[in-house]
A and B are shown apart, each in its own frame.
Chain A
């Protein structure tokens, strides 16, 4: 069941993005940025948490969850550090993804050669 839910939500988000991509002149850069902003906006009223509860990985894998995690980390830290928590906790939840992306990208760039 979880698999079907994950499939449906992740597929739906990608389908939305594809519709925007095919029917406008926006580049993938525009669309991913837009979706990240949407993600953090949905976290404003704790909507995204509900989505994660229902769709599990389906809601965690699209780039929208990146915005959600940034916002979530920031909000969690405000409980302890007040307004400064926003900057201090921003990367709490996304640190793993970004560090991994930087590290692996570097290693890939060192090892491989662009193929075209």
Chain B
């Protein structure tokens, strides 16, 4: 094994983020970070006939924006990696038909964002490819349809529910130096703390995030103080509170820690219950909001821990518990 490896973590030397494209839905666009995103849509249909096609359109637009920034064509990319929340990774796979290069479909539920970035980074670090596009998407209505109820069904959401973010993110990773690099990553293991409430993702996922953060810090001998900001993917207000309390009870000094689900929306004004979730949640906040701040050198080093609840509605109905996972990537400004 190469000297880059430290337990479950890897330190990377030549993986850079050179471009990104972010598209989002109406609620995200009206939220506090709305002005940071490249493109927002007024409605959930995005001019398409079904919600699934709308999600695909959002993803295609984000890919176009991402490539256009670097004046690239899709055939210049060596490999595409993508994931979303749907069965059979519907959105990314159906979009991949239009791509002239190899495609890797991954599933990590809401952690897909960090997982796709991590796999892409490892490919580049290993010298197998030069340029990789990592893309993820999620759509509130498609996720509601698959995991919960029909969108027009009148049901009162439980207080612990999170709101699936609508958006798509494409990120171009290269081995050519640019202002922000992927400096380290940690792949998480699947954790199950016997939580079985599909309406309470924050509570189910917090232990997975805890596990990954602790592993990351131990492997690389770091602490919260080494980062300007640590964000978890979509634990939302409730999960964020639990995780913070967990870490404090284990005598960790928790500073500068936040959650993407709380950043993406105005929790008090917008109707999002505990906060945002979904692949797009961590993706939009990281690539839309934190990446520009890193480029402006307002932050030096940021740790993104995207959490995913790998739940299947079928297994939930069979009274099984929810397996969860979290993957971390550390982004750093290049001096």
Main secondary structure, interface of B, reads: loop
Closest to B144 in A: A116
Inter-subunit contact B151/A115 (CB<8 Å): yes
A25 at the interface (CB under 8 A from B): yes
Inter-subunit contact B197/A25 (CB<8 Å): yes
Taking Cβ atoms with an 8 Å cutoff, the residues of A that contact B are 21, 25, 28, 113-116
For A113, the chain B residues whose CB sits under 8 A away are 45
For B156, the chain A residues whose CB sits under 8 A away are 21
For B51, the chain A residues whose CB sits under 8 A away are 114, 116
Interface size on B, residues (CB 8 A): 13
Chain A nearest CB: distance from B243 CB in Å? 23
B140 at the interface (CB under 8 A from A): yes
Contact with A along B39-73 (1 / 0, CB 8 A): 00000110000010000000000000000000000
Taking Cβ atoms with an 8 Å cutoff, the residues of B that contact A are 44-45, 51, 140-141, 144, 150-152, 155-156, 197, 199
Can you report 17 residue pairs joining A to B where beta carbons are below 8 Å apart? Answer: A21-B156, A25-B197, A25-B199, A28-B155, A113-B45, A114-B141, A114-B151, A114-B152, A115-B151, A115-B152, A116-B44, A116-B51, A116-B140, A116-B141, A116-B144, A116-B151, A116-B152
For B141, the chain A residues whose CB sits under 8 A away are 114, 116
For B144, the chain A residues whose CB sits under 8 A away are 116
For A116, the chain B residues whose CB sits under 8 A away are 44, 51, 140-141, 144, 151-152
Q: What is the CA–CA distance of A115 and B51 in the complex, to the nearest angstrom? A: 10
Closest to A18 in B: B156
- Among A21, A25, A28, A114, residue most surrounded by chain B Cβ atoms (within 10 Å): A114
